[in-house]
Structure 1
Amino acid sequence: MNWIDNFVRPKIRSFLNKRETPENLWVKDPESGEMVFYRDLEANQWVVPNSGYHMKIKGHDRLASFFDHGKFDIVPVSAVAQDPLKFRDQKRYVDRLKEARTKTGREDAVLVATGKLYDRDVTAAVQDFDFMAGSLGMAAGQGIVTGLETAASRKTPFVLFAASGGARMQEGILSLMQMPRTTVAVLRLREAGLPFIVVFTNPTTGGVTASYAMLGDVHIAEPGALICFAGPRVIEQTIREKLPKGFQRSEYLYDHGMVDMVVHRHNLRSTIGSLLGLLTNAEPIEELATVSASTQLTVTETDLSPKDEVQQPPPAASAE
């Protein structure tokens, strides 16, 4: 028996050809506790089939499900200074960045891409919560500015999929400076007469909500997304009162006029496609002709299944 040929080499080959598989093939639904097979969840755009719970989705997967045929081109983002404050808490900031880059395979939290949506040129940006909770630092701010400037230069609409835990504390005031920077970039896009659509995903909080994420022409939210500046736990501890059920969630904000619509993830492509057609006064697309504009413009909290009919909200009561 040749020990090297029969044992060592097969072990080396199995190590080198190891397939990338998730550590756990079953994922637990945070809402119902149901165990869902990883492949089924991935095929359903990370929406739990039975409960309709919208789980976090990676940036590349989001863009692939958004653009036509899953094809898009990544827009490079200019490099920024790393760890300008030499920040250290339990770990050095540079070490945290290395860990996040190893985990996600990207330089920072924002991914910018160009592609086509129903044959229309569109620029899109995705904030990935897996990269340091999608926090807004200099690199993320530069990514948003790059996306807005790319849309302005290419004369395309800009679609943002927002997800963030807020400003990146390791960059201090430099992180907060990204709020006015991105706001100015939004104003330039608006001056160019181009649409800016924001899709709130779970969660979108802090300085992102307090700046560019609330400056869109249309605000769409995925069902059940937490959208706020300060979180409910912080508010409860401050005012020492129990908050209403569903406070700061998509449906609550829709009922109170903070977002324009709540749309199931499976319906985002057609909804945004219809909106862009209306906002750019473009020729109607045959594929979207069967979807009425009035249906697309309002989605209620009951829209938890892609097969459900979208319903109009009841008319507002007239003032006496």
Structure 2
Amino acid sequence: MSWFKRIKKGITTPTKDKKETPDGLWFKSPKGHIIETSELEKHAYVVPADGYHKRIGSDEYFNLIFDEGTMKEINKSLSSGDPLKFEDTKKYTDRVKASQQKTGLKDAIRTAHGKVDGQPLMIACMDFKFIGGSMGSVVGEKISRSIDYCIKHKTPLMIISKSGGARMMEAAFSLMQMAKTSAKLTLLSQHKIPYISYLTDPTTGGVTASFAMLGDINIAEPGALIGFAGPRVIKETIGKDLPEGFQTSEFLLEHGFLDFIVDRRELRDKLSQTLRLFKN
């Protein structure tokens, strides 16, 4: 019976004295590889064992791309209104305020200019954590104003897309941003100023159907979900199984929708090289 009884004490720590592992100390990729969060940050939030790219926000991208001390954010105070007086289970204005308090962001995009290896660049970077990175009037307006800045200062533009699509709470106002941003990008092209579109996981809906696919160069992160409607909707509509890897950045590259795929750890160097090629 001694097999089923602990004879000696002190072999393990009593349950009451055990300490919980702090949240966020470790990160586990979908393939099961575990890495310390601090180590993950050193690798630009990419899991070295399998190359999985963890979703990150505008802060991380700005720190990763811009030369230290050169970044300056513009149009920081723009915030969504409620022209349609949208009410569902929760007022739209209340949801915007809640998202602002939770994320510390004003809306789903931030715009900033700075230097990349000494070369000027304007970046408009979307944040998925703000209402799913949905595109409303503020997103369209901030992209438009960043394009105005680029035209005035002859500065290349980069948009980092990460979005679930148009913001339904703004209805037609949101859909109008597709035409608005596309028209502004036409002006940028007429001034012969480069536009680099960087698609990350996920880039879907009206964002994909407008500015995300209009770059002079369209590039993406490995394994990113990129498309208009989701795979489930498409499968149910056509009544057929979808190809393996459908709507991943690798699938789009193979079918000619992308110019190339860039590992986030190499993004800064690739950008510097691309900007020099445009300049020359």
TM-score normalized with structure 2 length: 0.89
> What are the Cα deviations for residues 194-217 of structure 1, in whole angstroms up to 9, with x where unaligned?
000001100100001101111110
For residues 36 and 81 of structure 1, the distance between their equivalents in structure 2, rounded to whole angstroms, comes to 38
Instruction: Report matched runs for 1:49-64 at 5 Å.
Output: 49-64=48-63
Q: Counterpart in 2 of 1:148?
A: 147
Q: Flag structure 1 segments of 5+ consecutive residues without an equivalent.
A: 1-21, 282-320
- Partners in 2 of 1:70 and 1:256 — Cα distance? 40
Contact 2:201 2:224 in 1 (8 A): yes
- Give RMSD over aligned pairs: 1.4
TM-fit CA distance, 1:266: 0.9
Structure 1's 162 and 70: CA in aligned 2 closer, same or farther, altered over 3 A? farther
| Count of aligned pairs | 259
Is contact 2:78-2:106 (8 Å) kept? no
Partner of 2:125: 126
8 Å CA contact 1:129–1:163 kept in 2: the answer is yes
Flag the structure with more relative contact order, 1 or 2, with Cα contacts below 8 A and sequence separation at least 6. Answer: 2
Matches within 5 A, 1:212-231: 212-231=211-230
Identity fraction in percent: 45
What amino acid is the match of 2:237?
T
* Runs of 4+ more than 6 Å apart: none
In the TM superposition, residue 103 of structure 1 has moved relative to its aligned partner by 1.9
Q: 1:253 to 1:81 in 2, by over 3 A?
A: closer
Shift of 1:80: 5.7
Alignment CA distance shift 1:183-1:164 (3 Å): same
Alignment of 1:52-131 (within 5 A): 52-69=51-68, 71-76=70-75, 79=78, 82-131=81-130
SS at match of 1:244: coil
Q: Distance in 1 between matches of 2:216 and 2:80?
A: 32
**Counterpart in the other structure of 2:251:** 252
How many angstroms apart in 2 are the aligned matches of 1:111 and 1:261?
25
- 1:105-136 per-residue CA deviation (whole Å, 9 max, x = no partner) reads 11101110010011111111100111111110
Match of 2:24 in 1: 24
When normalised by structure 1's length, the TM-score is 0.78
* 1:77/1:142 contact within 8 Å kept: no
Q: Quick check: 2:120–2:155 contact (8 Å CA) kept in 1? A: yes
Letter in 2 for 1:134: G
- Letter of the structure 2 residue corresponding to residue 27 of structure 1: F
Residue 195 of structure 2 is aligned to residue 191 of structure 1: no
Amino acid in structure 2 at the alignment position of 1:29: S
Unpaired runs of at least 5, structure 2: 1-21
Partner residue in 1 for 2:275: 276
Structure 1 residue 140 displacement after superposition: 1.0
CA deviation profile, 1:169-193 (whole Å, cap 9, x unmatched):
0000000000111011101111111
